[in-house]
Amino acid sequence: MLTAERKALIQRVLQRDGRLIAKSFSQEIGISEDTIRRDLRELAAEGLLQRVHGGALPASSAEADFASRQAIGASAKSSLGRAAARLIARGQIVFLDGGTSNIQLARQIPLDLRATVITHSPSIAVELAGHPSIEVEMIGGRLFKHSIVTVGSTSAEAIARIQTDIFFMGVTGLHPEIGATTGDAEEASIKRLISRQAGETIVIATKEKLGAASPYQIVPMSEITTVITEGQDESGQLDQFKSAAVTVVEVDD
Amino acid sequence: MLTAERKALIQRVLQRDGRLIAKSFSQEIGISEDTIRRDLRELAAEGLLQRVHGGALPASSAEADFASRQAIGASAKSSLGRAAARLIARGQIVFLDGGTSNIQLARQIPLDLRATVITHSPSIAVELAGHPSIEVEMIGGRLFKHSIVTVGSTSAEAIARIQTDIFFMGVTGLHPEIGATTGDAEEASIKRLISRQAGETIVIATKEKLGAASPYQIVPMSEITTVITEGQDESGQLDQFKSAAVTVVEVDD
DNA sequence: CTTGACTCTGCACGATATTGCACGAAAATT
DNA sequence: AATTTTCGTGCAATATCGTGCAGAGTCAAG
C-alpha cells in the first residue's frame, strides 16, 4: 500500500467516524502501529488532523464545536443569509442544505413568504417549524452526525424524485479551478445529486472558504450558478470566480 | 475511549445539562471516577469549566445561571425519561416518536449504549446527533409543524419498511377504555402504523395525561405494552390500566 | 548490471502518559 | 459530633509514544 493512499484512507476514516485509534486501525489494514503513528504525526504537522494520545481526531473537531462554529462569524453569516433569502421567490421549491450558513438563511426568510423548503438537515427543519408560511419537506435517511444531515441510499432515492428551483449548497471549500468541495465522500455525492435536481445551485461562502479545497469535490465551478460572499475582496480572488461564468453577489457586513 | 474524546464529551454534557455529576457520569460511560475527576481537574485548570464538589459546572456564570434554572423542575420530567431509557437493550432498534417526553428520553440514553434509533422527529435527530454510540435513522416526509414530526405518504412508506423492537409513543391522552389519543388525525394514523411495525409499544404519560382523551384514537389499550408514569397514584386510576393487561411502570420523582 | 543514495517499513527499547486502586484528608450531610 | 461522600496524591500496571537502527525496495547515474 502506498503512503499517500494510506494517508488518504486515514483522513477518510477520520471524516467518517470522527476519530481514529492507532492500534485498531493498524490491525485493520495490516500495517504496523509505528507506520500509522508516523503518518498521523506527519498529517498533524500539516494541520490535517489533530493528534491525541491513542490516535487522532479531525482537525476541526467534530460535533463538539458545532455550537462554537455557529458563534464564530455569526454576524457575517447572518448578512450573507439575508442576501441569500432575498433570492427566493414566492411559491418556489427550494432545497436547503445543512450547515451554519443555511441555518442563518432559514432564520432570514421573510415571515410572509410562501414557499416550499426541502431539506435533509433536521436542524433546518426544526428552525423552519416556527415559520408561519413555509412548507417543509424532510428527506429521510441515515444521519451523518458530523454535519447533522441525512445521507445514504434512502436519502438519494428521495432526492432523485424531487425537482427544485434553487439549491443552497453548503461547502467547506470553494476553489476557482477545483470547484466546490467537502470533507466526506458520501456527503459530496448527496450534494452532487441534489445539485443535479436543481435549476440553480447557489453557494454561500464566507471569505475563509474562498480559494480553499477539501478532499472531495462536489461539483466543478461550471455547475454553480451563483456565489454569495463577503464584500471585502482583498486578494482579488473574486475576479477568478467572476470569469468562470458565475454570478457573484458581494455582501457588505 | 480516547482521553480527548472524553474531555470533549464532558464539555458537551456540561453545555447540554448545565452540570455534571462525577459519580453518575463515570458510571454512565463506564470509566472510573478517578479518571473523570482527573479530567475535570485538568479542564478546570484550562478554565474550560468550573470545578465544584461532586462534579462541575460550566465556566461562564451566564450559562451556570441558565443551567440551574433548567435543572430545577427538569429533574421531575427527566426521571420518566430515564426510566424509559433503561428499557432499551444493547443493539435494539427503537422508534422514538416526537414530543418533549421523548426528547427527555433521548437525553437520558446512557452514553455507552449501542443501539439504533429511528425517528420522524427532527428535534430528536438533532438531540441524538451528539450521542457517541447511537445510530440515527430519520424518516422523511412533510413536516407537521405543530408537533414537529414528519407525516404523510412518504413517511408512511418509509415506516412500513422498518420493523422495530420498541416504539416509544407520544400521546396527548391515555384513557383506560378509549386508549391512546392525539389531536390530529394524520398524526394518529402515522403513530398507529409505527405501532404496528413495533414489537412493543410503550407510552410515557405524565399524570395529567392519564384518564384524558383527545379527538383521535391512535390505538386501543390492548395494543399498548407498557405505560410509564409518575408514582403518585392518588385517584386509583392506575389500577384500571393494570387490569388492561398492560405493564405499568411507576416512577418516583 | 552494479552501485550508491534515498525512502519506507518494522522492530527494539527507553521514555512518557494514562488508568485504576489504596488511603488519608477535606467537605458535605445527618 | 458522627457519618458518608467526595477529593487528592502516591503508586504500580499497562498502553502508547518517539527514536535509533537495520533490512528491503526504488531509482538514477555510472
Per-residue model confidence as pLDDT tens digits over A200-212: 999 999 888 888 8
Say if the Cβ atoms of A123 and B122 lie within 8 Å: yes
Q: Is the CB of B54 under 7 A from strand D?
A: yes
Strand D footprint nucleotides (protein C-beta < 7 Å): 5-10, 15-20
Restricting to A residues 46-75, those with a Cβ less than 8 Å away from any Cβ of B are: 50, 52-55, 57, 61, 63-64, 67
Q: How far apart are CA B202 and CA B188, in angstroms?
A: 15
Q: For chains A and B, count residue pairs whose Cβ atoms are closer than 8 Å.
A: 102
Per-residue model confidence as pLDDT tens digits over A40-99: 999 988 888 899 999 999 876 443 444 445 555 667 778 899 999 999 999 999 999 999
**Domain assignments of chain A as residue spans, ordered by start:** 3-61, 68-251
pLDDT at B188 (0 to 100): 97
Cell of B12: 458537551
Per-residue model confidence as pLDDT tens digits over A140-199: 999 999 899 999 999 999 999 999 999 999 998 898 989 999 888 899 999 999 999 999
Nearest to B100 by CA among B128, B124, B136, B67: B124
pLDDT at B76 (0 to 100): 59
Rounded to 5 degrees, what angle do the CA atoms B231, B236, B241 make? 80
pLDDT at A63 (0 to 100): 39
CATH architecture, domain defined by B3-59: Orthogonal Bundle (1.10)
pLDDT at B75 (0 to 100): 58
CA of B106 to C1' of D4 (A): 33
Say if the Cβ atoms of B150 and A138 lie within 8 Å: yes
Q: What is the CATH number of domain A68-251?
A: 3.40.50.1360
| Closest approach of B54 to chain A, Cα-based (Å) | 24
pLDDT at B108 (0 to 100): 87
Please state, for a pLDDT cut of 70, what percent of chain A lies above it: 92
Inform me whether the pLDDT recorded for A31 exceeds 60. yes
Whether the CB of A220 is below 8 Å from some CB of chain B: the reply is no
What are the CA-CA distances from residue B176 to residues B99, B207, B243 (Å)? 22, 13, 9
Q: Between β-strands B55-58 and B49-52, what pairing exists: parallel, antiparallel or unpaired?
A: antiparallel
Q: What is the mean pLDDT of chain A?
A: 88
Inform me whether the pLDDT recorded for A243 exceeds 90. no
Rounded to 5 degrees, what angle do the CA atoms A94, A95, A100 make? 115
Inform me whether the pLDDT recorded for A237 exceeds 90. no
Question: Is the separation of the CB atoms in B211 and B176 below 8 Å?
Answer: yes
Across the range A110-133, mean pLDDT stands at 96
Inform me whether the pLDDT recorded for A37 exceeds 50. yes
pLDDT at B111 (0 to 100): 85
Class of domain B74-251: alpha beta
Q: What is the CATH number of domain A3-61?
A: 1.10.10.10
All protein residues with a CB under 7 A from any atom of strand C: A 1-3, 6, 31-32, 34-35, 38, 53; B 1, 3, 6, 31-32, 34-35, 38-39, 53
Inform me whether the pLDDT recorded for A244 exceeds 80. no
What are the CA-CA distances from residue B230 to residues A154, A236, A248, B41, B223 (Å)? 39, 65, 59, 37, 21
Ranges of residues in chain B with a pLDDT under 70 are 60-77, 232-235, 245, 253
A8 pLDDT tier (thresholds 50, 70, 90): confident
Same topology between domain B3-59 and domain B74-251: no
Across the range A26-49, mean pLDDT stands at 91
